[in-house]
Homo-oligomer: A and B are copies of this chain.
């Protein structure tokens, strides 16, 4: 899927640079600016790491030159107060929508910081895209909106990178051995002798099972138990008795 981000009549060049940075974070590099407000719109100060993207961006005088060869054009809008003439796609449902549409080349339009996309541009869109924001504070910063949409696009495109590695969980037998070890320690220490050993074992087992112990946790605990056990054992004395 080829994605193009189109900024329509953006006012603040810093926002253009920041939008480019957000695009680059999610692996998109095709930026077109329609009728930039400022003649000098290529701003790289805020484009940290995405300077090349900004320098390669194209400015056009009209929308056709920007998206003519794209199969699906989505116009972002806060939706409220507009007479909706198109299907409205929530960003959180973008994946299903794109799958269903099956377009290979998708352009996404973002309007001016103050007024969003005018009707003339919305008219040219296949559908409207909206980020579900809070009713009290619906209006997003332009580069935030671009970044969130690119994030969503990247999630639906494919899994980037590898999954996080987690620690190997301890197996049941290891946990049982750990319970026994704890019980030995308790016995040696004379810990709560008025409570039956079975009760104590149940409680400590429940905890160990809840804790999602990893194999390395088990080793650590055995080491600690062993140490405390040695420390506790009075040398050359008869073993104590416990329940």
A210 in contact (CB, < 8 A)? yes
Would you give the shortest CB distance from A60 to chain B, in whole angstroms? 25
Chain B residues in 8 Å Cβ range of A199: none
A165 in contact (CB, < 8 A)? yes
Chain B residues in 8 Å Cβ range of A147: 140-141, 144, 147-148
Interface residues contributed by chain A, number (CB under 8 Å): 66
Point out the residue from B131, B139, B143, B212 that lies within 8 Å of A151, measured CB to CB. Answer: B131
Decide: A164 and B211 in contact? CB cutoff 8 A: no
Closest residue to A185 on the B side, CB-wise?
A: B228
Q: What's the Cα separation between A192 and B49 when bound, in Å?
A: 47
Copies in the complex: 2
Q: Interface stretch among A24-32, A34-42, A63-71? A: A24-32
Chain B residues in 8 Å Cβ range of A212: 210-212
Decide: B144 and A22 in contact? CB cutoff 8 A: yes
Point out the residue from B134, B164, B231, B232 that lies within 8 Å of A24, measured CB to CB. Answer: B134
Given contacts A21-B141, A25-B138, contact A90 B164 (CB under 8 A): yes
Q: What's the Cα separation between A84 and B165 when bound, in Å?
A: 9
Decide: A139 and B217 in contact? CB cutoff 8 A: no
Q: What's the Cα separation between A96 and B139 when bound, in Å?
A: 28
Given contacts A25-B133, A141-B21, A227-B191, contact A210 B203 (CB under 8 A): no
A204-221: CB near B (< 8 Å → 1, else 0) gives: 000100111110010011
Given contacts A90-B164, A160-B134, contact A211 B217 (CB under 8 A): yes
A89 in contact (CB, < 8 A)? yes
A92 in contact (CB, < 8 A)? yes
Q: What's the Cα separation between A192 and B92 when bound, in Å?
A: 47
A–B pairs, 21, beta carbons within 8 Å: A18-B141, A21-B140, A24-B136, A25-B133, A25-B144, A48-B141, A50-B137, A84-B164, A88-B166, A131-B151, A133-B160, A134-B160, A135-B160, A148-B151, A189-B228, A192-B227, A207-B217, A207-B220, A211-B217, A212-B212, A228-B228
